[in-house]
Amino acid sequence: MRLAGEHLDPGAAALPWHLPLEQWPTEILVGLPRGISRHVVRFVEIDGDVVAIKETEDPIAVGEYETLSSLAALDVPAVQPLGHVTGRATEDGTPLPGALLTPHLRYSLPYRDLFSRELAADTALRLVDALAVLLVRLHLAGFFWGDVSLSNALFRRDADSFAAYLVDAETGELHYTLSDGQRDHDLQLARVNIAGDFLDLQAGGLVDPDVDPLAVSTRLLERYQALWGELTRTEEFSMDERWRIDDRIRRLNDLGFDLGEFTITTDLDGVTTRIEPKVVEPGHHRRRLLRLAGIRAEENQARRLLNDIDAYRMAFPELTEAEAAVAWFRTIYQPVLDAIPPDLHGRLEGPQLFHEFLDHRWFLSENAGRDVPFDDAVQSYLGTVLAHRRQESSFLAAPRPDDGRDR
């Protein structure tokens, strides 16, 4: 028997691998809800951590481990691989299937358990919306799922929505990019499988009989197509329509995606810009902004300022990212702060003030249907917005007799 895995705890070797998973003693098992699976799945505790073990054939276990490792490197929502077991056999030498080990995704539930807890009536729609977002993110990473269904995902609560995670990559294939045919094949599988999932829920009395399973699965396709189009569509911008670039970035941010890469093609008719979204880890924006421009900001502030740096760079494609950030700081960011008259100092911190200025300039440009000149936008913001703000320190804390400085 061979037990392999970069992050596998040595305690895993002490498990009764000579027994089929169905025969493992109940005293070593952890009682967690399990989704529908064509494989035997058990949860055990190893050195304080709960681990999911899926019994499958040796080559499939190794292949899925490698696929999940690649997905982890791409930072897409999927369970993390811990290790795999091959060459298992009973004490009398009878071969046993291999196994894949993954950590239990905390606070996650299979879809059937969500319905059994009698959540809100729109649970079905929120689940398929989450699955659509997951499928888009997987396809952007070049992953062909091959078996899209609610059963092959786990769901975690995310405010009023759900976040979906890939839990079964057995049929998946990772490519540099996917063809339209591959994506469409996944979508058609999803439509059939999800309709079947909801028919099964209705048979179990977990979903109202009036719910149309086909309509629910069709919603996933519609949600996917709308999201995919927004994220991958190529738009043409002329040099005096920067506000349209800002508007596109806003829509991406509203969908939970961030500007990753863009290419610029200059021709006789103008500029063609391809914006490719990239999901980044928490704190990424603050670290990147500090590295590029030396500005300390909160995460959402940093994201907004970085978006403006990226939009600025589109007008100067000959500049590197670092050069563009320095030029943006010198010609855009600092002049806004320098324009603040003494009586308005301390109303807002720099990053928040600039964020509001961007909002104000975008609003002016949208109404005008063109880019409003920078200096005009600054003066308008100072006179109509900042002049009516109270000092930020007044919102944060009561005055202290020993320290009257702004914070």
Query: Which helix (H) or strand (E) element contains residue 193?
Result: helix 180-203
Q: What is the DSSP string of 296-333?
A: ---HHHHHHHHHHHHHHHHT-TTS-HHHHHHHHIIIII
Note the Cα 258 to chain centre separation in Å.
9
Q: Is residue 325 part of a domain?
A: yes
The percentage of the chain sitting over the pLDDT mark of 90, rounded to a whole number, equals 31
Can you state the angle between helices 123-140 and 213-232, rounded to 10 degrees?
40
Tokens of 284: 């990424």
Give yes or no: residues 223 and 242 share one domain.
Answer: no
Q: Is residue 402 part of a domain?
A: no
Give yes or no: residues 240 and 358 share one domain.
Answer: yes
Instruction: Looking at mean pLDDT, say which of 96-110, 151-165, 180-194, 341-355 comes out highest.
Output: 180-194
What per-residue confidence (pLDDT) applies to 94? 92
**Mean pLDDT value of segment 44-53:** 85
Q: Is residue 407 part of a domain?
A: no
Give yes or no: residues 78 and 165 share one domain.
Answer: no
pLDDT tens per residue across span 245-282: 778 777 776 666 666 655 556 555 555 565 555 555 54
Give yes or no: residues 270 and 186 share one domain.
Answer: no
Give yes or no: residues 211 and 277 share one domain.
Answer: no
pLDDT tens per residue across span 372-393: 999 999 999 999 988 887 655 4
| Domain-ending residue, one of 231, 260, 280 | 231
| Domain-ending residue, one of 207, 231, 255 | 231
Tokens of 388: 């009516």
Using pLDDT thresholds of 50, 70 and 90, give the confidence band for residue 62: very high
Query: Which helix (H) or strand (E) element contains residue 222?
Result: helix 213-232
Give the CA radius of gyration of the chain.
26
Which residues have C-beta within 8 Å of that of residue 188, sequence separation ≥ 6?
A: none
Give yes or no: residues 342 and 368 share one domain.
Answer: yes
Dihedral of CA 325/326/331/333: which sign?
A: positive
Using pLDDT thresholds of 50, 70 and 90, give the confidence band for residue 208: confident
What per-residue confidence (pLDDT) applies to 403? 40
Tokens of 263: 């290419």
Q: How far is CA 160 from CA 27, 127, 157, 164, 288, in A?
A: 37, 11, 7, 13, 29
Give yes or no: residues 78 and 14 share one domain.
Answer: yes
Evaluate if residue 405 carries a pLDDT over 60: no
Q: Is residue 403 part of a domain?
A: no
Instruction: Looking at mean pLDDT, say which of 22-31, 152-161, 328-337, 367-376 comes out highest.
Output: 328-337
Give yes or no: residues 44 and 112 share one domain.
Answer: no
For position 87, which CATH number holds?
A: 3.30.200
Give yes or no: residues 224 and 342 share one domain.
Answer: no
Q: What is the mean pLDDT of the chain?
A: 81
Least confident range from 45-49, 383-387, 402-406: namely 402-406
Tokens of 238: 């002329």
Contact (Cβ atoms closer than 8 angstroms) between residue 143 and residue 108: no
Q: Is residue 213 part of a domain?
A: yes
For position 180, which CATH number holds?
A: 1.10.510.10
Can you state the angle between helices 213-232 and 242-254, rounded to 10 degrees?
140
Give yes or no: residues 219 and 326 share one domain.
Answer: no
Contact (Cβ atoms closer than 8 angstroms) between residue 146 and residue 178: no
What's this model's pTM, rounded to 2 decimal places?
0.65
pLDDT tens per residue across span 163-204: 889 999 999 999 999 999 999 999 999 999 998 888 888 887
Q: Report the amino acid identity of residue 293.
A: A
Q: Is residue 44 part of a domain?
A: yes
Using pLDDT thresholds of 50, 70 and 90, give the confidence band for residue 205: confident
Evaluate if residue 33 carries a pLDDT over 60: no
Give yes or no: residues 252 and 357 share one domain.
Answer: yes
Can you state the angle between helices 242-254 and 350-368, rounded to 10 degrees?
120
Number of alpha carbons in the 13 Å side-chain half-sphere of residue 384: 13
**Mean pLDDT value of segment 351-363:** 91
**Nearest by Cα to 293 from 262, 332, 260:** 332
How many domains does one find in the chain?
3
Q: Report the amino acid identity of residue 227.
A: L
Interatomic CA distance for residues 307 and 243, integer angstroms: 12
Give yes or no: residues 32 and 157 share one domain.
Answer: no
Domain region containing 160: 108-231
Q: Is residue 217 part of a domain?
A: yes
What per-residue confidence (pLDDT) applies to 162? 78
Q: Is residue 406 part of a domain?
A: no
| Domain-ending residue, one of 210, 231, 252 | 231
Higher pLDDT, 130 or 256: 130
